[in-house]
Structure 1
Amino acid sequence: MIVDDEAKIRNGLLKLLSSYQQWEMPVVFGDAESAFEYLRENRVDVMITDIKMPEISGLELIRRIREINGQVQIIILSGYSNFSYAQKAIEMGVRRYLTKPTNPREVISILMKLEEELESDQIADEEESRGEKEPVEVSNLAVAKAIQYVESNYAKKMTLRDVGDKLYLSPNYLCKLFKKHTGKNLSEFITEYRIEKAKEYLRDVRYKVSDVAELVGFGDTKYFSSTFKKLCGMTPMEFRNGKNADTE
């Protein structure tokens, strides 16, 4: 789906995407309201939308869509490089935020990657519905590599997509494998591993709690402390001051 109030942009994207015969002809809308009404009744894999449009903005359109459909992949194509727009878009699960003018090759590259992910997810769902299983060694290798990646990169900002990209797997498919073979969600594993590493740092009084938070990949000290307490039943300072003696 293409949503943009500029006819030149709509037509350009339509011409570009229609040249790829393996993709279904995109539906095109010049306003967000019409696009939303279409999505209420129809399935779309990917939507490319502008962010500034009359009456209803692209961000408002995305917010409405997320209330009824969490699966459609969304790419924003905007003339605005405003950070707050990009930040809000990321919070709503937008896959990419591109600024105009955009290189057509970049658009096609992103769409091809999304196509691979969608096909991978579809194959996984079909195998699951038929009761088919991946060879254990293949699945275990992917999970082992995911764990190794987390152990090597826990101190950095890391998302499920980062891990999936490293293994050339979609995040959804990787999470299914990880859950099946470990019994844990990958996001839970990342958090728990970071907290375990935090315990090691907290035992060294040279590090402040804020230092420890940064060392294990938490950008916000308050969030780190609340997460630590949730998982350990005590604050980082309580752990450091010896309350952990009865629990270890």
Structure 2
Amino acid sequence: MAELLIVDNDQHARNEISSIISESKYNFLSIYEASTVQRGLLLLKQSQPSALIIDLSLPDMDGIKFGRTALQLYPSLPIIVVTQLKMFELAQQAMNSGFSSYLLKPLSKNELLETFDRVLTPEISSAVNQVINKGSGSFITDLKNPIESAIQFIQLNYGESLTLKQISNQVYLSPSYFSRLFKEDTGMTFVEYVSFVRVQKAKGMLRLSSLPIEVIANNTGFANSSYFATAFKKIVEKTPSEYRDQFHWESNITVTS
């Protein structure tokens, strides 16, 4: 069974996370909550969750230490930090400890869901696809809403090679008609939209991981790091390196201020 464990002594924060999940494609997750490490460890030992969300300011143990303890129990467990602590050293400790992501409060719905898309285990990813596709095991096109279907397909497969012809075939439209309809509905060309989606995914990985830029480019569907850098700068007005450095610089300012 797909489960999520939230360990945070802030009831409001736990409620916020639960609300985001209940209104997303991950609403099939069974959510368990704990306000202390003692209770969290008990729940961990009773059943291995599919992911663990922790705050670093816990009443009975340092959050970093708790996360490391959880990884000793389950080395492949995705751990997502959600905290108000904007200190770069803590973010670095979390990433070096093998945690999957470091998110700041107040929590962004998009960042949390993008993090889930990136870090959840293959078991969960499979379950997500089954829920989206109504258990059919394959993508279902809504013929009444071909552009919405195309967008959903792109969101699910942004890391793969995507072509206009492939997607137009997926929604049973001619490439020329699909291209015109897609631009009318989204305000972007097909190529522009695919790049936009991939860049949004890459932004989260640049902020919250130390993965090499070439790896991020590959994982988000770009043919090479040079093309990735060009597309990223066009949309964000910064290179991937500048964007990552800005995040680290802002974190360091917080530490020294």
TM-score, normalized by length of structure 2?
0.47
TM-score, normalized by length of structure 1?
0.48
- Which structure has the higher relative contact order (CA within 8 Å, separation 6+)? 2
The structure with more radius of gyration: 1
